A and B are shown apart, each in its own frame.
Chain A
Amino acid sequence: QKEVEQDPGPLSVPEGAIVSLNCTYSNSAFQYFMWYRQYSRKGPELLMYTYSSGNKEDGRFTAQVDKSSKYISLFIRDSQPSDSATYLCAMTLGYGNNRLAFGKGNQVVVIP
């Protein structure tokens, strides 16, 4: 079983729709959870960062972590064509262990 599972998609949605992405993981010791956005031919850029279980909202983006189910989600409201990118979930143990385990990435296309 892979450490982090993420359905690679691709996912096509019309502009204005809600995009829902998720990852599952096997290591219950993961404490810190991130979502990175990667545009074509660019490096990943940090989008959202959460610690332990709970929700975090930043503008049109909401990240959710459910540690009991080992499941994290990213929601994008009012999606825009500029949101078209690959979204990678990542997680780490923390406490000095900075090894990030990534999901395979989810390609999202927002159609105008």
Chain B
Amino acid sequence: DTAVSQTPKYLVTQMGNDKSIKCEQNLGHDTMYWYKQDSKKFLKIMFSYNNKELIINETVPNRFSPKSPDKAHLNLHINSLELGDSAVYFCASSRQGEETQYFGPGTRLLVL
């Protein structure tokens, strides 16, 4: 009965590769987010979707492309991976009109 789930949990890959991370929430929320947490534990928002529509797009390289096939899923595709992309990526969700966000367990990405 996991509320927000992400796959994979760990991802080790070479520079230049393309990879995807998937997120699913079963909370019935309308809004989903992607955050990046760097090695210093700083969490920064990347994207937000509300009912499959992109509503927040922070200054993120266009190698990162989110896709929301339905309001329960938000995937993140990363092209041409770079060393600096190594981080933990968290998916989160919230109910429309509410400020509290619920986070997934994270995907630990290591680019070699």
* Distance from A25 Cβ to chain B, minimum over Cβ atoms (Å): 15
* Distance from B60 Cβ to chain A, minimum over Cβ atoms (Å): 13
Query: Count of A residues near B, CB < 8 Å?
Result: 24
Closest Cβ neighbor of A32 among chain B residues: B99
**Quick one: given A42-B105, A43-B106, A99-B48, are A104 and B40 in contact (CB under 8 Å)?**
yes
Asked whether B41 lies within 8 Å of A98 as measured between CB atoms, the reply is: no
Counting residue pairs across A and B whose Cβ atoms lie within 8 Å, the total is 54
* Distance from B105 Cβ to chain A, minimum over Cβ atoms (Å): 5
Asked whether A44 lies within 8 Å of B43 as measured between CB atoms, the reply is: yes
| Stretch from A11-19, A53-61, A65-73, A86-94 at the B interface | A86-94
> Which bucket holds chain B's interface residue count?
20 to 34
Asked whether A98 lies within 8 Å of B106 as measured between CB atoms, the reply is: no
List chain A residues, Cβ under 8 A from B90.
43-44
Per-residue CB proximity of B17-44 to A under 8 Å, as 1/0?
A: 0000000000000010100000011111
Asked whether A86 lies within 8 Å of B103 as measured between CB atoms, the reply is: no
Additional A-B contact list (13), CB under 8 Å, known A98-B31, A105-B42: A8-B41, A41-B106, A43-B103, A43-B105, A44-B103, A88-B41, A88-B43, A98-B94, A99-B48, A99-B56, A100-B45, A104-B41, A105-B43
Q: What would 26 A/B residue contacts be, using CB atoms closer than 8 Å? A: A32-B99, A34-B100, A38-B41, A41-B106, A42-B105, A42-B106, A43-B90, A43-B105, A43-B106, A44-B90, A46-B101, A46-B102, A49-B99, A88-B43, A94-B99, A96-B97, A98-B48, A98-B56, A98-B94, A98-B99, A100-B45, A100-B99, A102-B44, A104-B42, A105-B42, A107-B41
A residues apposed to B, CB below 8 Å: 8, 32, 34, 36, 38, 41-46, 49, 86, 88, 92, 94, 96, 98-100, 102, 104-105, 107
